[in-house]
Amino acid sequence: MKNELALSGEEIKEMVYPDLFENIGMIRGEYPIRECGKNILTKDCQDFFKKYLKGICKIYQKQEVWYRFSELTVSEANSLVGTEEILPDNHPLFGIRGLRRSLQYLDEFEAEIKVINDVHSEYDNLAVFFPFVNDGKQLRRAIDILRKSGYSGKVGTMIELPSAYFDLDNILQTAIEKIVIGMNDLTSFVYAAVRDSQWHEMNSEIMMNIIEDIANRAKKYDVDVAVAGYLDENIINNLQEKGIKAIVHYSLIPQIYGRGIEFPNHLAEVKKFTKENIRNLGKKDD
C-alpha cells in the first residue's frame, strides 16, 4: 500500500517518488501564503497561490491533489502584509486557527475559495479539506459556504480536536469523502502535552485505538481515512500493518525513506521567514 505526500509550498517539477506515494494527500495552504508574506486578500498572494496550485495539479493531473485550507496561527496571520485586524495571540495552540479563523474572517475565507474555484475550473483533480474543525455543525456551515461558491469537487475534514472525534457520527453525515487524522494536535489535546515532550506519545496504544475507531466508523460511510503529522518510521509501519495510509511530509522523506529531495531546506526557510516577520511586527508595536 502506497502512502500519500504532503507539501508545504515546495515547487516540485515532477511527481515525487511515485513508487512510494500515490497522490498529494495534503498541501498545507498556510505555507505558500507565509512564503508570499501577504494576506490572501491581496492580489499578489492570490496570484502567487494560484500559480503554485496549478503547477502541482498539472503534475498530478491523473491523481487527486488534496488542498488543506490555511491554518494560520494568530501571530502568523498578524505578520502578513494586508491582514486587516491584528489580534493578541495569548494562546497559539488553542486560538483562532483553521476553520475558526475562516468563519470569523469570511472575506479571507471567500478569497481563498475563489482561488480554489479558479484552479478547480481548470484542474478538477483538486480536492479540499478543512483544518481545526470543532464539530459537525461547524463543518456543515463551512461546506455550505463552499458549495454556494460553486465548488463542486471532493471535500474532507481533519480530525485533530477531541470534540471532532466525539462528534464523529455527525461529521460523517456531512457527505465528506475524506478524513485526515491530525496526529500532532490530536495527541497534544488527548495528553495535554506539547510536541516533542515525553508525554506526546503519537504511537501509543491509546492513539492507535482512536485511529482504528475512526477508520472503522468512516468505512461504513465509504469515507477514506489517512493519518498526517510529523510521523516517524515506527508510526508509519504501525499504520501500514493496520491498512491505514499515512500522509508523509516532503521534508521527512530523507529521514523515513533514506532518499534525497530537491528542496531539503524549504520548510525551515519558510518558518524562519515567518518568525522574522513576527519579530518585525513586534518591533513596530514597540
- Give the model confidence (pLDDT) of 136-156 as tens digits: 999 999 999 999 999 999 999
Residue 283: what pLDDT?
Answer: 65
Average pLDDT, the chain: 96
Looking at the chain, the whole-number percentage of residues with pLDDT higher than 70 is 98
- Give the model confidence (pLDDT) of 222-245 as tens digits: 999 999 999 999 999 999 999 999
Residue 209 has pLDDT above 90, yes or no: yes
- Give the model confidence (pLDDT) of 235-286 as tens digits: 999 999 999 999 999 999 999 999 999 999 999 999 999 999 999 886 665 4
What is 111-128 written as a DSSP string? HHHHHHHHHHTT-TTEEE
